[in-house]
Chains A and B, each alone.
Chain A
Amino acid sequence: MAEKMELRDIEVWDGNMAASQAMRQVQIDVVAAYPITPSTPIVENYGSFLANGYVDGEFVMVESEHAAMSGCIGASAAGGRVATATSSQGFALMVETLYQASGMRLPVILNVVNRALAAPLNVNGDHSDMYLGRDSGWIQFDAYNPQNAYDLNFIAFRVAEDHEVRLPAMVHQDGFLTSHTAQGVHTLDDDTAYSFVGDFKPMNDMLDLDHPVTHGVQTEEDWHFEHKARQHHDLMTKVFPRIQAAFDAFEKLTGRKYNIVETYNTDDADAVVVCMGTAVETAVEVSNELREEGKKVGVIGIRVIRPWPYDQLLDALKGIKAIGALDRSSPNGTFGMLYNELAGTVVNGDEKKVLTNYVYGLGGRDLLKSQLREIYAELLANAEAGKPTTPLQQLIGVRGPKISFH
């Protein structure tokens, strides 16, 4: 039996510690992992929990991230609770196996501490790795601070392992800005945390020796489409009700309320920015300040990136005239992901909305409050004019001549 850890009601934890503590509390059976900045401390913390008797599962320090996810897939198919953590190049190395985990419907939990992708090499946070995973068939949650990183891990295990869902899930947090910034985190005691997620319930487990099972078959044009359609269908229809139920139960337990789409100051807003990660918190601060100046601006934070919260966004965007989609990943030849997905979301609505795209913060570049104020000013001008008053895509905070497109 693993020893229990006494926690204070509020611990001063960074995002990495918050994630590792949640992983400890849900009593994972197998963690197969490989270190990479800035997610390394998750793996190190977990190793120290093990070394001190707080973990009684297996901890397999493999030789690469590809092997980490491969080991997780084998362990998950064998029938038990499985999780790991990674960032950036490590995430990129895992990509092949991400599709295999989701295609086999294995509920692996992956903490992704977001970091830029080389070249050039960079250890700081942006959302390139997160975007790279968006077609991989995983559920993707986004944390904006260490508290979220802690809480969303419990939600992720509970949803992913649900037999109606059986899909892997990522919990994202911003490299360094969240992962290495200590804040007060409200904790759950070990028993409460564990029982929120509950015992792992095996399904199609290889270790059930009386029921041999084959995982990872070959399908060609005669079957492949049906299997992919099934997975897509389940992502589109089965996941949100379970996430909502988990959010409700979590609020009842802790008083902390999460929403699939988070909204701040949006009720009567003319203009909003839509963003993810720590940018949400900065934007909320700026919008609060602007509200005091009488400007009707708000913030929409995406909490669940996959499945894409189409209905929830349509709802949140009601009445809003101008939207700034803030993408923290180089689109490399098109609009940012958020811009494109938001365009797809609002294009068939009755309301005319002006949508523009801002690319910011690549490689850990700070998003300044002054920049957000400028963005809001532009968005309000768009709202007023009923059409774009700026180029559709602008890169902000980059040295040299102003850079924008369309």
Chain B
Amino acid sequence: MIDNGWDEFEIGAMLRSFDGAVKDIATTLQEDRPYSKNNSFTASVADWRIEKPVFNKDYCIDCQFCWIYCPDISIISRDKKMVGIDYDHCKGCAICVEVCPTNPKSLLMFEEKMDEDEALAGWPEKENKEK
């Protein structure tokens, strides 16, 4: 695509979101969609991150705050459960961590290179919040 010449694309710089016809896209989950190569879903912004969020399901209460406030559709929730992070589209803003209400948090930011198991192994204990 990136090397296409002037005669190798649709007129009017028009882009299609999907390959072929889609019905009920509003109720079709991402994994079941026929994304076209022009859909930004197929691209990645992983290299924007300096830190990444890591999810620890042990503490998660599936409140879905992280899902609704993630600007980048990178919290994967299925059947009302938080299941993980989409690291292709996560920009590392840490909003999800900020809004996570559990103690300790079920999402924390770690250095991008950090191994996930290592991150989970070093997860902080419950914090005594003095008021």
Contacts and interface: CB of A to CB of B under 8 A. Distances in A.
Interface of A: 103-106, 166, 204, 210-217, 219, 223, 225-227, 229-231, 233-234
Interface string B1-42: 000111101111111111001110100000000000010000
Interface of B: 4-7, 9-18, 21-23, 25, 38
B23 A212 contact: no
Given A210-B23, A212-B18, A233-B6, A219 B13 contact: yes
Given A226-B4, A226-B5, A211 B18 contact: yes
Given A226-B4, A229-B6, A233-B6, A212 B25 contact: yes
B13 A104 contact: yes
B7 A233 contact: yes
A230 B7 contact: yes
A225 B9 CA distance: 13
Contact of A210 (B5, B21, B38): B21
Max count, chain B CB within 10 A of own CB: residue among A166, A215, A230: A230
A204 B12 CA distance: 10
B12 A106 contact: yes
A231 B11 CA distance: 8
Contacts, number: 59
Given A213-B16, A226-B4, A226-B5, A234 B21 contact: no
B83 to A, nearest CB: 26
Contacts of A219: 13
B11 A105 contact: yes
Nearest to A219: B13
Given A210-B22, A230-B7, A233-B7, A215 B17 contact: no
Contact of B15 (A217, A225, A229, A231): A217
Q: 3 shortest A-B CB distances, which residue pairs?
A: A105-B12, A226-B6, A229-B6
6 contacts: A103-B12, A106-B12, A210-B21, A212-B17, A227-B6, A233-B6
Contacts of B13: 103-104, 216-217, 219, 223, 227
Contact of A230 (B11, B15, B22, B25): B11
Contacts of A226: 4-6, 9
A233 B5 CA distance: 13
Best-surrounded residue of B4, B6, B18, B21 (most CB of chain A within 10 A)? B6
